[in-house]
Amino acid sequence: MSKSLYVFDLDDTLIDGDCAMIWNAFLAEKGIATDHNFVTEDRRRMALYAQGKMDMAQYITFAMQPLANVPIASVQAWAQECVAQLIVPRHFAQARTLLAQLKLQGSTCLIISASVSFLVQEVAAHFGIAHALGIDLVERQGCYSSEIAGVASYREGKVLRLQQWLSEQSETYQHIHFYTDSINDLPLCLHADFTYLVNPCPQLRAQGAQHGWPVLNWAV
């Protein structure tokens, strides 16, 4: 019997919103991010992401500034608070139903996100998804640095991270199903056997029309 792997983008695919933006607003609200322009600058940079024009290394350097020299345990505690209070309630209802169905079927699910791993893995745990890949950060002296470890799970990097993950598994998957909203995920859309567009951005919607990818309209 052939096995399928179900791969999900996270932001604006499983949840209504971007967990990095929600996290950064949370840091500002708690007074952890003290630069009064932090949230405004985050929005400017994320607008570039939506257009497929973001330099991820530069963004990570910016976004991690408030957490410089903060112990990892503190960051993880804040991440738990942020995810439980502000991100889990944004879970799309249709995503919740689909994940429950896949769990009953015994299907393997994997999140691959361009958000940082400490957020992605916390969200995945709440959603009952055992496998989650985000942007890994180099750790120094018990703190997260702004240096990306390995390949960033962004654009073509998502395909590379998926291939790396598959090479580490004992299971062999005949088919890959991929769900996303973003033009940044076009490489993985083209790599997957079956692609589904969740509330897609205009650029990805146009690509989907050319390839015959189904469009799903999900809401909280």
pTM for the structure as a whole = 0.96
- Tens of pLDDT along 149-188? 999 999 999 999 999 999 999 999 999 999 999 999 999 9
Name the DSSP letter for residue 65.
G
Name the DSSP letter for residue 7.
E
The number of beta carbons lying within 10 Å of the beta carbon of residue 212 is: 7
| Residue found by looking up tokens 């709440």 in the block | 126
- Tens of pLDDT along 129-139? 999 999 999 99
Q: Give the integer Cα–Cα distance in Å for 205 and 217.
A: 12
Work out the percent of the chain whose per-residue pLDDT is above 90. Answer: 97
- Answer yes or no: is pLDDT of 1 > 60: no
Q: Where are the domains of the chain?
A: 4-216
Instruction: Classify domain 4-216 by CATH architecture.
Output: 3-Layer(aba) Sandwich (3.40)
Q: Looking at residue 50, what is its pLDDT?
A: 87
- Tens of pLDDT along 67-100? 999 999 999 999 999 999 999 999 999 999 999 9
- Answer yes or no: is pLDDT of 2 > 80: no
- Tens of pLDDT along 4-24? 999 999 999 999 999 999 999
Supply the angle between the helices 72-82 and 117-127 in degrees, to the nearest 10: 40
Average pLDDT, rounded, for the chain: 97
